[in-house]
Chains A and B, each alone.
Chain A
């Protein structure tokens, strides 16, 4: 059994650490590229959302490298993500690929099935080593997210442009060579130190922008055309509305303190949207209001074309923007998004914000 999984930003670092610890063979799909996207758009339904197309591309690239079991998480609606596994299985079946797709649904839809699946993909490791590996992988996720927070802070402030990104790409290169969670954590710590000491321009007073929107689009740099880097190089301090750590804490952990804090954060959305409508629309609205309280200069919403929940959020955001006089922009991405037009929109938005900021202070 050789396992593979769809890419979603830097999730591969944690997944690799997890399966290395469990001694299960794993193929990390090659980074999402034009080829991945082209494979996906050719095979997936035309109207499907972008994440489905890209993950199909990931699978095929991994299968060619020897993977025979695909794992992905599931949900029970109403967002389309919950049915990805089934549709993708049908597509792969018709293509003649004989692979096993394991959909990890939340435990509450069938606890026994969930445990069986976990045991199967973990190569029947003992429960204690399983727990240890999961805990370690979670630690990796938290650390990597912290590393990214440092990167986001540094980018607009660095004295020599591009230094942070040089170190970051070296990290992404090195992290595939280490084995297991211990080595990964060591590597993350080294790069955290390295990036923290990058020389800063003391006069820098960056514009602060909050990113909200659908989680996959926010986390996967290829899909959002590396918006964090683009904004960073325009001298913007980027704050993320949702991170992988948040997702894991919400769905997999029992951290009651976090859950209370999350509940409070979601309450902020109440005047505009008082319930979960699937996907991350509720979080998007709550984070938009939250970013205003944190004194952000603006908010950018990013969604994949046709994302059902985010369309609802998109229609609410202009009202929030008006009520709180918080500049907000919505960007829709799909396989046809052109880099130049996208960049122009970001630049224009940042220009407006920096002019506004200049006038206020």
Chain B
């Protein structure tokens, strides 16, 4: 059977697991093409106005796959870590798609719920394996192999690679001017690693001569530690991931500046970015900018903001040690 996997939401994090699982069970996997103008437009038309950009794009990818795959794989990622959630829209995703995409797409829904324990989460894979007609032992074997592939992938991400390099073979070479410094790029995987949505920010920054560091490169233990300054457990896995990796970059001085990419209307970002900015303002004071993306974002304005940010970093480097007559640094207070 042909199973379609939309190149949207968390595909860039979990593709090795999903793909290996279906391949091991003897099914063919069809990926939708990288996001393009048509996919965006289809998604925006089908989806409710209030939803965020990544969810709209997900709708577009499903529409694209409709006549190319027998079943479209929709992960309902309720929770990927005990006592945490991702986002309410992820939990209601299959319902949103069923009710918004015209023509009744045939969905293969994975319920992944690790709210009680990680082991519980993988029960969802057993269920869809059985649904596809395989015996339980065969499903377990396929799952074990798929998990191994996923572990290798995660290890490479933590080792400093990124999904753009591993899944799309895109090298982020430093351009003219060599290595000028490091920029921390923070955002949900579906923004950072989607070249259409992020307007190729990664390549552009690399060409300007900067090395990039991503949230996926930060060790989970570090994230847990930096987030423990808050009195209440952060119950959004990705919220915690972004905030924690941002804080870790600040604390360890890993980056000369931080760019946060956020999608318009993202409920979780609205809180996480606020907390990150306040912490930076209080204790670290390195350049940090937030760029909000939506379906109306234009390339030119986006480039201007990136350039302005990089200019600021460079001038700061240059003049940061200049002290004005009354004793305060011009750029570093």
Contact = CB atoms under 8 A, between A and B. Distances in A.
B265 interface: yes
Interface in A67-86: 74, 76-80, 82-83, 85-86
A45 B236 CA distance: 18
A308 interface: yes
Interface string B239-280: 000000000000000000000001011111111011100100
Interface string B28-52: 0000000000000000000110110
Interface string A311-333: 11111101100000000000010
A94 B234 contact: no
A350 interface: no
Contact of B88 (A278, A303, A318, A332): A278
Nearest to A78: B85
B274 A273 contact: no
A71 B92 CA distance: 31
Contacts of B271: 45, 48, 80, 83, 87
Contacts of B268: 80
Given A47-B265, A309-B92, A86 B235 contact: no
Contact of A311 (B50, B231, B233, B273): B50
B95 interface: yes
Nearest to A274: B95
Contacts of B267: 47, 49, 80, 306-308
Given A47-B267, A308-B89, A311-B48, A82 B99 contact: no
B95 A87 contact: no
Given A277-B91, A279-B88, A318-B99, A306 B235 contact: no
Interface residue range, chain B: 35 or more
A218 interface: no
B234 A83 contact: yes
A87 B271 CA distance: 7
Contacts of B232: 74, 82-83, 85-86, 103, 105
A105 to B, nearest CB: 8
Nearest to A276: B91
B25 interface: no
B107 interface: no
A301 B99 CA distance: 17
B321 interface: no
Given A77-B236, A315-B51, A319-B99, A46 B270 contact: yes
A272 interface: yes
Nearest to A90: B278
Interface of B: 47-48, 50-51, 83-89, 91-92, 95-96, 99-100, 230-236, 262, 264-271, 273-275, 278, 281-282, 292
